[in-house]
Structure 1
Amino acid sequence: MKHFKFILILILLLSIGCKEKAKYTNITMIGGEEMKTLLKNEEVQLVDVRTVKEFNENYIEGAENIVFDDNFDQKLKGLQKDKPVIVYCRSGRRSAKCADILAEKGFKKIYDLKGGITQWKKEGNKIKN
């Protein structure tokens, strides 16, 4: 019985300690509907972090292409830190990394489009070609 209690307590402690917490509180994952609302109702900076080639194939209207590469943080100088930023990529991996960089650089409110432009198109939203 002592071993059972010990194991149970150990499992509880490990489960409490292993919960992943958000790295930054100023990054919010959003879906397509939320993004459309933000684009209509707020003055936001929409940033596509895909390659120039990907951007030239299609993009979300109003997006600025800032390619995620080794010099990404240097390219952020044209953005306003106090103005909300929405980032997106193809599927969400690059934009998640970019959102972290934006937070590290002091941007106040960052939105990351869940599923990227792939999900955006899948939901039937408009893109520019």
Structure 2
Amino acid sequence: MKNLFLLLMLLPFIGGSCSQQKNYQSMSTPEFQQLLSDDAIQIVDARTPEEYRQGHIEKAVNMDIKSLDFDKQIQALDAGKPVAVYCKGGVRSKKAADKLSKAGFKKIYDLDKGLDDWIKHNYPVVKSEK
């Protein structure tokens, strides 16, 4: 009886931890930089267009996670190819990675500490006028 009570008390915690499993891989900045050497990778910058113009990773496509049509924008990506996603500090990219996963993407990689850490590592960024 005591074991049954204990099991019933732990059940919500066991179920809750299973439902919080992420379907993407967070990567350190050096790992992410290495990943981008793969020509098949699609790079998504989840920041605002203004942030994107100020500096972004080369070949990145701007898809603002805060945009109302983000879900529509990601349909332009190839779900069969890997996607690398980043933002300024790592919060928005995780939300974007979640949405990509729900949209059927299987190989999703998140820059854990964002573009700020990318720049701290002296990796290159390019500026854009659009």
Using the size of structure 2 for normalisation, the TM-score is 0.80
Alignment: residue pair count = 121
Amino acid aligned to 2:92: R
**Runs of 4+ that moved beyond 6 A:** none
Find out whether 1:33 has 2:30 as its counterpart.
yes
Residues 49-104 of structure 1: CA distance to partner in whole angstroms, max 9, x if unpaired?
11110000010111011111221101112100010001101111111111000000
Find out whether 1:111 has 2:109 as its counterpart.
yes
Percent of aligned positions with the same letter in both sequences? 36
Write the distance in 1 (CA, Å) between the matches of 2:34 and 2:92: 23
Structure 2 residue corresponding to 1:88, chosen from 86, 89, 114: 86
Map of 2:76 onto structure 1 = 78
Aligned CA RMSD, in angstroms, stands at 2.3
CA displacement at 1:42 relative to structure 2: 4.8
Map of 1:3 onto structure 2 = none
Counterpart of 1:119 in 2: which secondary structure? helix
CA displacement at 1:33 relative to structure 2: 1.4
Counterpart of 1:53 in 2: which secondary structure? helix
Amino acid aligned to 2:80: D
Counterpart of 1:41 in 2: which secondary structure? coil
Map of 2:59 onto structure 1 = 62
Q: Give 1 or 2 for the bigger CA radius of gyration.
A: 1
Contact (CA 8 Å) 2:46, 2:93: kept in 1 or not?
yes
Write the distance in 2 (CA, Å) between the matches of 1:79 and 1:18: 33
Counterpart of 1:47 in 2: which secondary structure? strand
Write the distance in 2 (CA, Å) between the matches of 1:30 and 1:37: 10
Write the distance in 1 (CA, Å) between the matches of 2:37 and 2:43: 12
Find out whether 1:17 has 2:14 as its counterpart.
yes
Structure 1 unaligned regions, length at least 5? 1-5
Amino acid aligned to 2:72: Q
